[in-house]
Amino acid sequence: MKQAFDTLIIGSGLAGLTMALQIADTKRVCIVSKREVSDSASSWAQGGIAAVLNNEVSNEDSIEEHIQDTLIAGAGLCDAEITRLVATNAREAVEWLVDQGVEFTREADNSGFHLTREGGHSQRRIVHVADATGNAVQKTLAQKIREHANITILENHIAVDLLTSQKVSKSATENRCLGAYVLDNHTGKVMTIAAQQTVLATGGAGKVYLYTTNPDVSTGDGIAMAWRAGCRVANMEFIQFHPTCLFHPHAKSFLISEAVRGEGGLLLLPDGTRFMPEHDAREELAPRDVVARAIDFEMKKRGLDCVYLDITHKPLAFIKEHFPNIYARCLELGIDISKQAIPVVPAAHYSCGGVMVDAQGRTDIANLYAIGETACTGLHGANRLASNSLLECLVFGRAAAHDILNAPSQAISQLPQWDESRVTDADEEVLITHTWDELRRFMWNYVGIVRTDKRLSRALHRIDMLRDEVQEFYSNFKISNDLIELRNLLQVAELIVESAISRKESRGLHYSKDHPNLESDPIPTVLEPKNYSG
């Protein structure tokens, strides 16, 4: 089966939906979503969107302070021009969401938006919708997407691989993206989708780790596909571990927002003792990497299963107003956060690295864009500042859309059908499930919050063995959603480990016991595909 569109967007989070709505009035758009449009990491984002809303100065805040906070958190690896671009466009991005119908939480006297503060921020500048900002934004944009006549949504579909000119024709001199192969999970059939432009908006790769705040769809698909097609990736060693994921056997990947600490929540040992003052002068409001390492240190030192986040000193009415979803979910699990401290552990949360792009979201391959967590724009450097992720989705979704709208029209290529004439049905699926489990466990143990050269070497050795086994399986049997995701996770795991091995220092989110010092002149980690064939 073949289809053709002006623009193919792979992924349905905030970045992808923002772009689709920006271009759909004049472009025929197809959105490929692995599950339903609402099932993305964007939907799970609790905190909010960092933005200085009143021109250059808002009360005591300013765009310059937002820039400085971002640069400080990024530990010397942020791109200064990109950081300024994003911070400067933050207000316009938020205003666009308001125009779309997003109802951000306002002050009690309705004098303006209620702004909260999170770790690493010097001021209150986080605009939010209670404690479920991502969900509110996604619902609003998804409704508009479904109502737009020029947008086709393919839910429960997963991209298999990109189609490039050099893959279609070995004699092609320029490597251009022509579209993608996409698996329909309803039928098990692979369709060919051709497009003038293809956009990777598939999110991050949190599912490469055993413990993560990410949804099940976060398997690094866009990064792996771009790498196989010939794109560079950068800064993959910088995996942000959110300090506070709810520790409960029935709470799958439930995040306790950083805003809880922003509103006065304290981190405690089981005996009620605070520990953050011993680790950093900023205490609970230190950047995420500092807080996550502190929790990891205390847990390992004392043999703890978790630590505790205490907001019980705030009135019940305050907690219900500011954290209604966290309060309700914890109560379902038997934890009344107005009376009990919340058991928490760190969990893989965000990939600061990704596919290298420019200020318009363009990759190394013509007609291929990457936006959102899939991309490495240079904004986050070695550590993402809280609530800059949804902002980045908005700013780059809009920037890439503007670039596409101004690009000259191109002929849509005739592309080959998917060939499965030489493969058979898989005789057993245990290889996939076992390998998935093994990968996530050794990535957590060997490539987690604290790393060593020996652990990284062991991880790379295991990845090499598993990748060969999975590639043989991929070559001989009909593909499935689980097999595609596993193949991508193994590729992304390799990129993370290779990047970590190449950085001989500890910076931001990458902490190595063997290389604890900072280099004086840091540079991004850039990996280039070896011997790719398009």
* Structure tokens that stand for 183 in this block: 């698996």
Closest alpha carbon to 58 in 119, 112, 95? 112
CATH code: domain of residue 446: 1.20.58.100
Q: Would the pLDDT of 145 be above 90?
A: yes
Residues 126, 138: Cα–Cα separation, whole Å: 17
pLDDT value of position 255: 87
The reply to whether 247 and 338 lie within a common domain is yes
- Dihedrals φ, ψ of 176, to 5°? -115, 145
Cα–Cα separations (whole angstroms), residue 440 to 166, 210, 362: 33, 5, 31
Last residue of a domain, one of 325, 347, 369: 347
Residues 379, 176: Cα–Cα separation, whole Å: 26
pLDDT value of position 428: 67
Residues 182, 103: Cα–Cα separation, whole Å: 35
The reply to whether 342 and 247 lie within a common domain is yes
More confident residue, 430 or 57: 430
What's the whole-number average pLDDT of the chain? 91
Total residues belonging to the chain: 534
Mapped onto helix, strand or coil, the DSSP state of residue 420 is: coil
pLDDT value of position 385: 92
| Residue 46 within any structural domain of the chain | no
pLDDT value of position 58: 47
pLDDT value of position 44: 60
**For 406-431, how does the pLDDT look when each residue is reduced to its tens digit (9 = 90+)?**
999 888 888 988 988 777 776 667 88
How many CB atoms sit inside 10 A of residue 523's CB?
Answer: 9
Question: 534 falls in which pLDDT band (50, 70, 90)?
Answer: very low
Residues 6 or more apart in contact with residue 1 via CB below 8 angstroms: 189, 191, 192, 417
Residues 46, 48: Cα–Cα separation, whole Å: 6
How many CB atoms sit inside 10 A of residue 59's CB?
Answer: 13
| Residue 100 within any structural domain of the chain | no
Highest mean pLDDT among 56-70, 162-176, 254-268, 495-509: 495-509
pTM of the model: 0.90
Average pLDDT score over residue span 290-314: 93
| Residue 208 within any structural domain of the chain | no
Question: 118 falls in which pLDDT band (50, 70, 90)?
Answer: confident
CATH code: domain of residue 302: 3.90.700.10
More confident residue, 134 or 470: 470
Q: Would the pLDDT of 110 be above 80?
A: no
* Structure tokens that stand for 62 in this block: 């300013």
Q: Would the pLDDT of 241 be above 70?
A: yes
Lowest mean pLDDT among 219-223, 293-297, 460-464: 293-297
Q: Would the pLDDT of 46 be above 50?
A: yes
Q: Report how many domains make up the chain.
A: 2
| Residue 398 within any structural domain of the chain | no
Q: Would the pLDDT of 214 be above 50?
A: yes
pLDDT value of position 334: 95
Residues 160, 495: Cα–Cα separation, whole Å: 19
Average pLDDT score over residue span 291-301: 90
**For 452-491, how does the pLDDT look when each residue is reduced to its tens digit (9 = 90+)?**
999 999 999 999 999 988 988 888 888 999 999 999 999 9
| Active-site annotation, residues | 288
Question: 131 falls in which pLDDT band (50, 70, 90)?
Answer: confident
Q: Would the pLDDT of 57 be above 80?
A: no
How many CB atoms sit inside 10 A of residue 312's CB?
Answer: 16
Looking up tokens 């060919």 gives: 192
Residues 503, 87: Cα–Cα separation, whole Å: 28
Average pLDDT score over residue span 248-254: 81
Closest alpha carbon to 359 in 388, 396, 390? 396
Q: Would the pLDDT of 533 be above 70?
A: no
- Residues 30-46 as b/e (b if ≥16 CB within 10 A, e otherwise) read bbbbbbebebbbbbbbb
Residues 221, 214: Cα–Cα separation, whole Å: 14
Q: In what order do the strands lie in the sheet with 342-351?
A: 239-246, 342-351, 307-310, 266-268
Average pLDDT score over residue span 71-85: 96
Average pLDDT score over residue span 45-57: 74
Average pLDDT score over residue span 275-296: 91
E-strand spans in 136-293? 151-155, 157-164, 177-184, 189-200, 233-234, 239-246, 266-268
* Structure tokens that stand for 257 in this block: 């927002």
Average pLDDT score over residue span 332-341: 96
- Domain of 312? 243-347
Average pLDDT score over residue span 193-214: 94
Q: Percent of the chain, pLDDT > 70?
A: 96
pLDDT value of position 56: 43
Identify whether the C-beta of residue 302 lies closer than 8 Å to the C-beta of residue 269.
Answer: yes
Residues 308, 276: Cα–Cα separation, whole Å: 12
Average pLDDT score over residue span 508-516: 95
Last residue of a domain, one of 290, 320, 347: 347
Lowest mean pLDDT among 28-32, 116-120, 272-276, 523-527: 116-120
Lowest mean pLDDT among 18-32, 276-290, 361-375: 276-290
pLDDT value of position 107: 86
Residues 207, 225: Cα–Cα separation, whole Å: 16
Closest alpha carbon to 47 in 118, 106, 101? 118
Residues 523, 77: Cα–Cα separation, whole Å: 7
Q: What is the CA radius of gyration of the chain?
A: 22
| Residue 186 within any structural domain of the chain | no
pLDDT value of position 411: 85
| Residue 288 within any structural domain of the chain | yes
Last residue of a domain, one of 303, 323, 347: 347
Q: Would the pLDDT of 208 be above 80?
A: yes
| Residue 444 within any structural domain of the chain | yes
DSSP state of 408: P
| Residue 209 within any structural domain of the chain | no
**For 429-455, how does the pLDDT look when each residue is reduced to its tens digit (9 = 90+)?**
788 889 999 999 999 889 999 999 999
Q: What angle do CA 63, 68, 69 make, to 5 degrees?
A: 100
Identify whether the C-beta of residue 391 lies closer than 8 Å to the C-beta of residue 49.
Answer: yes
